[in-house]
Structure 1
Amino acid sequence: MNDISQIIKETAEKIMEDLCTKQVVEDSELGILPRELWKTIVKSGMATVGVSEEAGGSGGSFADALTILRIAAKFSAPIPIAETLMANWVLSEAGLPLMEKPTTIASNNNGNKMMFIEISDGWTISGSAYDVPYARYAEAVVVIGNSQQGNMVAIVNPRACHIEHEQNLAGEARDHLYINNVHLQGEAVSRVREGNDNNLLYRGALIRAVQMTGALERILELSIAYSKERIQFGRPIAKFQAIQQQIAILAGEVSSAKTITNLAVKSFEAGNGEKQIMAAKIRVGEAASLGAPIAHQIHGAIGFTDEHSLQQSTRRLWSWRDEFGNESYWANKLGNEVLNTGPDYLWPFVTSMNSELVL
């Protein structure tokens, strides 16, 4: 990690520690978006990390941006920072203006259907998108859809859309968005670079895997701390071998999640990370499946209550594992890719997961 990356990491941790409290997360489930947290994120330049300064961004690498997301997820930050970062990467590649206000993305992934139609004085956009993160709070929606000229992207004012409020298990906004013949000038619409529509799915899967890793780190820290505080039979439960064994298993799952996501991030930056991202989403989902029950077993009943912050992380783990493809989706996809390579290439396929990188 270079000096700039270390500064970004430390700044993100400081912001989250100061402004993303348990009460802030609870208030978000009541419909109160933490504006002060968002303003601080924007002021620090974190909404455009991963976009070069020449393109109007803050600079930094894709890995730096994902470090911000991992830390934000560790604190259960109830803001659309992941969606805004992803939107800005798409906008930068399309030559459109970047966004510093809360932004979300509606694309044709997940069975959604967005259609661009070119007319004499510009374009019209129509379609629907489901489970759009933070659509009700967004001040801009980056829409990606089909047209006769190929895949297109544009920035749409959410006030021109019909939004139905929904939420995931974590209480995060996952709204249904409907667009009906919204008119845009020609310069407001741009062509999506070939392959970027599929790339968006992989980016989203990697982002959720990184966020889940942050949440897993959090539940491990909470479990270790609680095991030292909770007294049973005259001593902390951390002294009991059964608890120590459970914490060791949880720590192993967290370590595995961090290792595979780090590999996926490096592979993606190197330009060839699809199978690593598939493996990361699968493995981190498995870690969540094993890790969340262990954390709740260690905490007992209090971990499920509003009084304790554990449930804020575990509910996000259960929600995020299904977004941008769950373990079954990616396992089938990865399995088909392995089968298509043939038996003679199975071992080279496995060993190439890491050999493509210069570490």
Structure 2
Amino acid sequence: MNTKENDLFADAAREVLNAQCTPAVVRAIEAGGRDAAATQALWAQLEAIGLPDALLSENQGGSGLGLGQVFGVLEQCGAHALPLPLAETMVARALLAQSGTACGAGSIAFAQGQALADGSWHCPLVRQGALAEAVLVQTPSAWRLLKVDQAHRSDHADVHDAALTWSSAQVHAAPVVAVDAELQVRNLQAAVTAAQMAGALLQVFQRTLQYANDRQQFGRSIGKFQAIQHQLAVMSEHVFAARMAAQLGCSGDGVRPDRLRVATAKARCSEATLIVAELAHAIHGAIGFTEEYDLQLFTRRLHAWRQTAGSEAYWHAVAGEALLAHEGMTLDMVRRITDVAAAH
């Protein structure tokens, strides 16, 4: 799969999301939840162009792609504030297919859970659990694919998220997903989240740049003022550094990302979120915080994604432990992380 072919998938995602995932649709999905007509219509469009199955092999009805080859698709999800777990579904369906587990149609979220004393499984936070149809749950002892409508649900502050608990009977009736012991749902979720953050960060920067050029103050656009230009320059630096790191996090073939590359990607994107969102709202002023203005659709998601699968503090610790355990020059480890060709 060459770069030109990869771009075709990103272009297809951009085209359908431009038409079907407008800010008005995003708001309708947030208001209506999983059963809203807007939710079902948008998901049907994503299924129609085959994006949820892109990581499946061609023999299984997919396109045989790896995470690195769908980075552009994941980026477009963030750039359009897609309120549905397409990225997680793509990876989950690939894992389920590889394990021989049937999953059927519908969206799938990721979660880490805990097995309680009575045999039930509890997930205190399922990102987009209020919108997904199923959750691929990892506990220390097993992975299972569990249906959201069978769970006891408690809402979170973010309308997309939920705390979910399945009874012992529901857990035992659900299929066990056979994966290798070293695979961690946190790594998978962090990799695809960083890619979406990269798209949202670029969107926030572009919207802020446009606003600075359009907004007039004292007879000229505010983008002409040196202080604003400095803020935009800082935003640009963080946005494009985060995008490069996110690409590293998804680099390689298959759907099992390198943990150290994921640590680099998620930490850098989470760091960038704090600075880029702060500067974007500073330049926009009060209007940027209003519900009617679209900027908050992206910055709100970025703050949620910053904590998803671990914030920068968690992933800095992962990178630090790897560095302390590394024998040899630090530069050798940096080269291994950044040498994309070695991942193919």
TM (norm. structure 1) is 0.86
SS in 1 for 2:251: helix
Task: Identify if the C-alpha distance between structure 1 residues 357 and 91 changes in structure 2 by more than 3 Å, giving closer, same or farther.
Answer: same
Residue matched to 1:357 = 341
Structure 2: 5+ residue runs without aligned partners?
Answer: none
SS in 1 for 2:137: strand
Per-residue deviation, 1:125: 6.4
Residue matched to 1:211 = 196
Per-residue deviation, 1:166: 1.7
Deviation track 1:162-221 (CA, whole Å, cap 9, x = no partner) reads 1112243xx4x211111112257889434222322x2x2211111111111111011111
In the alignment, the residues of structure 1 paired with residue 170 and residue 28 of structure 2 have an alpha-carbon distance, to the nearest angstrom, of 36
Native 8 Å contact 1:94 1:193 kept in 2: no
Residue matched to 2:169 = 182
Per-residue deviation, 1:267: 4.6
Residue matched to 2:30 = 29
Native 8 Å contact 2:121 2:171 kept in 1: no
Residue matched to 1:113 = 114
Deviation track 1:21-63 (CA, whole Å, cap 9, x = no partner) reads 1112222332344221111000110011111121333433322
> What amino acid does structure 2 have at the position aligned with 1:351?
R
Task: Identify if the C-alpha distance between structure 1 residues 99 and 4 changes in structure 2 by more than 3 Å, giving closer, same or farther.
Answer: farther
Structure 1: 5+ residue runs without aligned partners?
Answer: 117-123
Task: Identify if the C-alpha distance between structure 1 residues 10 and 158 changes in structure 2 by more than 3 Å, giving closer, same or farther.
Answer: same
> What amino acid does structure 2 have at the position aligned with 1:193?
D
Residue matched to 2:122 = 128
Aligned positions of 1:1-359 closer than 5 A: 1-32=2-33, 33=36, 34-107=39-112, 112-114=113-115, 126-147=120-141, 151=142, 153-168=143-158, 171=159, 173-183=160-170, 188-196=175-183, 198=184, 200-267=185-252, 273-341=258-326, 344-355=328-339, 357-358=341-342
Native 8 Å contact 1:161 1:180 kept in 2: yes
Deviation track 1:254-278 (CA, whole Å, cap 9, x = no partner) reads 1101111112222575977221211
> What amino acid does structure 1 have at the position aligned with 2:335?
T
Structure with bigger gyration radius: 1
> What amino acid does structure 2 have at the position aligned with 1:142?
L
Deviation track 1:271-312 (CA, whole Å, cap 9, x = no partner) reads 772212111111111111111111111111111112211111
In the alignment, the residues of structure 1 paired with residue 15 and residue 239 of structure 2 have an alpha-carbon distance, to the nearest angstrom, of 22
> What amino acid does structure 2 have at the position aligned with 1:63?
G
In the alignment, the residues of structure 1 paired with residue 312 and residue 76 of structure 2 have an alpha-carbon distance, to the nearest angstrom, of 23
> What amino acid does structure 1 have at the position aligned with 2:162?
D
**Higher share in strand:** 1
Counting aligned pairs with the same residue, the percent is: 28
Deviation track 1:109-143 (CA, whole Å, cap 9, x = no partner) reads xxx31489xxxxxxx96210121123333333333
* Structural RMSD (CA): 2.5
Native 8 Å contact 1:114 1:129 kept in 2: no
Per-residue deviation, 1:105: 3.0
> What amino acid does structure 2 have at the position aligned with 1:306?
E
Native 8 Å contact 2:145 2:177 kept in 1: no
Task: Identify if the C-alpha distance between structure 1 residues 70 and 159 changes in structure 2 by more than 3 Å, giving closer, same or farther.
Answer: same
> What amino acid does structure 1 have at the position aligned with 2:114?
K
SS in 1 for 2:168: strand
Native 8 Å contact 2:114 2:122 kept in 1: yes
Q: Number of residue pairs matched?
A: 338
> What amino acid does structure 2 have at the position aligned with 1:157?
K
Native 8 Å contact 1:80 1:102 kept in 2: yes
